[in-house]
Amino acid sequence: MRIFTPATSANLGPGFDSLGLALKLYNEVSITEQKISSINIIGEGSDKIALKKNNTFVNIFNETITSLNGKSLNYKFNFVNNIPFSRGLGSSSSVIVGAIAAAYHMAGFKVERSIILDKALQYEHHPDNISPAVWGGFTVNIVNNASVYTQKADIDSNLKAVVVIPDEPMNTKQSRNKLPSHYTMNECVSNLSHAAYLSSCFIKKDYDNLRLACIDKMHEERRMSALPELFKVRDVAYANGALMSTLSGSGSTFLNLAYQDRANALAEILQAEFPKFKVKILEIDNDGFSIKS
């Protein structure tokens, strides 16, 4: 079997730990039974010996399939990792969701997305990345009694993501430690209102108001201060047709959304302005993970 799990962009400005978007950049894992377990990695992490000795995907897969069948067999795992590590594009969520869904499939169980999502929450306690990896599209998420409740909106094909990927990673835990333990009433109200309005814009496909909707007062600029070039990325993006420009997850990637007829020009300008960074144009994934036997 092969499983494809998309990259994701979380928070989207004001939707801290609750809003997310799936992107057409996939990690692929092929799994076959064999007498001796083995791991092969292409792409991200292929030079890291530790990933073959202690692989998170394999560990979660084995834990899950053992819980389902009472035992785990030996498998050959072939990884094609396209999602960059520690760049705010949901690489860890891709691993978690992919491993659990693959285990359900290999164990002969029905792969129910709501169940996969709730199981993934045990490994990743915030649903903003794992939910779009499961459902695709734009997702609004809350957690209640260890279950994730999601509202999803498909995104029009004429909307593209122009992502700017710096050469420096950002550690999510360290990035979260930069945030204050308390917020003012004004900051809370601002984020609540903007997150609600942003959700409405995506659901109603009112993309022209995304720039206003994505204003954040809680986390984004505090995290961006670790890599000040990101402030210029946002300025350049907005000056050249971006509909919204936000830190992707905890960074360091910056997510810019643009209409299709502006995406190529925006990408070229951003690449010229930031030659040390990678700039990619990605389509929005509306389907979430997929399994091919």
DSSP alpha helices (H): ranges in the chain?
50-53, 56-69, 91-106, 113-121, 127-135, 172-177, 185-204, 210-213, 220-224, 229-239, 260-273
Q: Is 94 annotated as a binding residue?
A: yes
Neighbouring-strand partners of residue 29:
3, 79
Q: Which candidate, 101, 98, 100, places its Cα nearest to that of 79?
A: 98
Q: Is 86 annotated as a binding residue?
A: yes
Q: Is 61 annotated as a binding residue?
A: no
Q: Which candidate, 280, 40, 273, places its Cα nearest to that of 164?
A: 280
Q: Is 290 annotated as a binding residue?
A: no
Amino acid at 231: F
Q: What is the dihedral of CA 14, 15, 17, 23, to 10 degrees?
A: -110
Q: Is 85 annotated as a binding residue?
A: yes
Cβ pair 249, 16 in contact under 8 A:
no
Q: Is 252 annotated as a binding residue?
A: no
Q: Is 92 annotated as a binding residue?
A: yes
Q: Is 70 annotated as a binding residue?
A: no
Distance CA 218, CA 175 (A): 13
Q: Is 132 annotated as a binding residue?
A: no
- List, as residue ranges, the binding site: 84-94
- List, as residue ranges, the binding site for ATP: 84-94
